[in-house]
Structure 1
């Protein structure tokens, strides 16, 4: 599919979107799936989303390159686009970059989930004393997935303030999607080692390594061999935008073996290419239709009971 830019002033953007939706639907229909489950999408308060997108537009220090955001529609239209793609369930991953944000974000995402039945109730946290109370409160309120952004937050995931947080999440068995790899720009606490210290203390944690842990995916695959709860999402991984990763035979074998622990994620709406491009990148890996069915629907359906 040509990477049609919805912001390029095309004569009929509605027709372009309809064509893209048809291609996405053809992808999962050809696999015999009822639709897709996307575990890595962002819905958040408008002002926060606008600030994040402005940071992308400016190619800020944590981005490090031009990043032309593909989907800039308003919230309702973005929901329509996902549903038009045939996405059966998705997330509202919001994340704080400083203290005193997470509790209010959790209130927003709880409300969003209540008015958006196909959204998995999402929540977040930051290393602060209040996290020991607002994370269990979010769990009690029905949160089904958490988001942590070590790169943007600039914090050590093994911070003592997060010990009760990881413990509560591990005990509840709730997946937590963590941007802990060093892509696109490394910071002090990115990479496998900080999360290895968390897992050593909380071995039952259901850690979803966002973006497949790129570029340190080998180290995160090593963690997955040691801890059964380590999963991966495919968000932006293996796409042309980041450059296709050449997988050695050993890593291809491990990714194939971890078929049941890999979940499709897109980073919608803040991706710099079409949604179809994310799916095509997975197809190019050539792990077969069974692997694609598990990654794009079956694994998340099992984990989240969708």
Structure 2
């Protein structure tokens, strides 16, 4: 939401700088206490300005549509958003972007390739959509250095088992390039969200390196089951366990033990900048789980660094 509509206070430049400086200090204190060189965040959003504004407009409308306020905490220009992640000590991040219709993905991939070229700490990200030519532009993205893809079943309203995508999943599995997939039914279910379509996909492509966004919220248990069944499945923490998400999609206490068991398969994600709270709250939420420093080190750095390779550690 805009500062006026969200009830936020508009800060002067010096006040805003002081506020971001305090938060950066809190974030850095978190990973420095763990003895880490910084954070690896697999789920951050950078996209063309006109597309991002439409995404923000969607979240501005979430309150009137659902009664749930979703003010964008980091509604800043691109340069300032990149600078903030660097101040936080995020060593590697992504430009998660996604089409809502045919004809967008190849254009978005071109933008993302350029963004990665001028932003060396951003992992080269790409996306896809079930449409004619998808295998060609996915192959081109992989050959040009894309290290991770984003698939958004909710926004794109497509079945991951669409026949047009079948050769793409095979290509990505063979190349070992991971896909972050928004496949859970939160914050609102889509026609093809939930564990069932993803289960069918993995049965056909068991070597696919699939990162389940938002821990599969709210179908946490089902997606943990898939992670235990398939060695290539990981889950990102994006918005999970935070006070905000616990109000409408609480993580089941009975599954906490499986978080520990799958500690090498969980990676830090935050949804920056599209979050309705400060970045540090995601880290504090993970610490409150009480799973220990080794678990935090793996989730907040080591697993993501392994996912992206040594250049991003």
Whether these two folds match at TM > 0.5 is yes
Select the residue among 100, 103, 124 that pairs with 2:103. 100
Q: Is the 8 A contact 1:71 1:270 kept in 2?
A: yes
Q: Is the 8 A contact 1:38 1:89 kept in 2?
A: yes
Aligned to 1:278: 282
RMSD: 1.6
1:216 aligns with 2:257: no
Distance in 2 of aligned mates of 1:56 and 1:257: 34
Aligned to 2:204: 201
- C-alpha deviation, 1:178, in angstroms: 0.2
Secondary structure of the structure 2 residue equivalent to 1:161:
helix
- C-alpha deviation, 1:13, in angstroms: 1.1
Q: Quick one: structure 1 residues 8 and 82, their matched pair in 2 at CA, closer, same or farther if it must change by over 3 Å?
A: same
Counterparts in 2 of 1:138-177, with a 5 A limit? 138-177=141-180
Distance in 2 of aligned mates of 1:131 and 1:65: 36
Q: Is the 8 A contact 2:99 2:105 kept in 1?
A: yes
Distance in 1 of aligned mates of 2:235 and 2:228: 12
Q: Is the 8 A contact 2:40 2:305 kept in 1?
A: yes
User: What is the TM-score when the length of structure 2 is the normalising length?
Assistant: 0.93
Aligned to 2:3: none
Aligned to 1:255: 259
Q: Is the 8 A contact 2:135 2:165 kept in 1?
A: yes
Q: Quick one: structure 1 residues 79 and 207, their matched pair in 2 at CA, closer, same or farther if it must change by over 3 Å?
A: same
Deviation readout 1:235-285 (Å, 9 max, x if unpaired):
000111111635333x22211111011100010000000001111110111
- C-alpha deviation, 1:7, in angstroms: 5.1
1:186 aligns with 2:189: yes
1:111 aligns with 2:114: yes
- Structure (1 or 2) with the greater helix fraction: 2
Q: Is the 8 A contact 1:224 1:231 kept in 2?
A: yes
- C-alpha deviation, 1:22, in angstroms: 0.4
Distance in 1 of aligned mates of 2:107 and 2:251: 41
Unaligned regions of 5+ residues in structure 2, if any?
1-5
Distance in 1 of aligned mates of 2:9 and 2:180: 33
- C-alpha deviation, 1:85, in angstroms: 0.2
Deviation readout 1:70-113 (Å, 9 max, x if unpaired):
00110000010000000000000110000000000000000000
Q: Is the 8 A contact 2:240 2:251 kept in 1?
A: no
Distance in 2 of aligned mates of 1:206 and 1:47: 31
Distance in 1 of aligned mates of 2:252 and 2:163: 36
Aligned to 1:67: 70
Q: Is the 8 A contact 2:235 2:266 kept in 1?
A: yes
Distance in 2 of aligned mates of 1:230 and 1:62: 33
Select the residue among 61, 78, 83 that pairs with 1:58. 61
